[in-house]
Amino acid sequence: MATKTVSTTGGNWNAAATWAPSGVPATTDDGIFSPTSSFLNVNVASTCATINFTNYTNAITMSAALTVNGNVTFIAGLRVGGTNQLTIGAASTLTSNGFEWPNTLNIGTGTFTVTLSGNARVSGSLTLAAAGAATMNSNTIFVSGGLAAGRSVSGTTTIQLVGTGTWSGAGTVTNALTVNTTGTITLSGTDSIVTGK
């Protein structure tokens, strides 16, 4: 495992010169965004071990999907362009620091736990891939889009739907789930909840 920091010149994810030390991050490498890091474009579907935006002052563009197989640390004021999703693909602590992720947040395939360090907000949808069983623990995740529960999810995190979207999927939600919106949540397919409000 290595640490790869976005360079002062930035660029596309898949360009070696975008990173310091030079070289595209492997799936086992940590992605770091420092105060001197320039812009980054996730131009191809990519995977890394962890990602940390602490002290980052530039912008990331989500032209393609990004999978993180570990901890995700945002920073308030992070600028995000593009519309592609962020997938958490393994056991993770998600630290939002007051930032609202603007696109879909996907909890990927597998059986693992995502722990929220503080409340989290997602402007897009919260989706859970179909295979495995997810656990989400601690605090509240506020979701402005839909909920696509492709598999069951449990744990102590409260899922609060606060916008307009569709609740779909055959997965059973055993987390506390609250609908608190002036918008419309449309139920699609077979949706089930065991506990919650």
The reported pTM is: 0.94
| Residue 85 to residue 54: CA distance in whole angstroms | 20
pLDDT confidence of residue 197: 43
How confident is the model at residue 194, as a pLDDT? 61
Handedness of CA 167, 121, 173, 162 (dihedral sign): negative
Q: Residue 72: CA atoms inside 13 Å, Cβ hemisphere, count?
A: 27
Which of 13, 76, 80 has its CA nearest to residue 42? 13
Q: Nearest-CA neighbor of 83 among 68, 107, 104, 60?
A: 104
What pLDDT, on a 0 to 100 scale, did the predictor assign at position 58? Answer: 97
Please give the pLDDT value at position 196. Answer: 47
Which regions of the chain are under pLDDT 70?
190-197
pLDDT of residue 190: 64
Six-digit token pair at 173?
């939600």
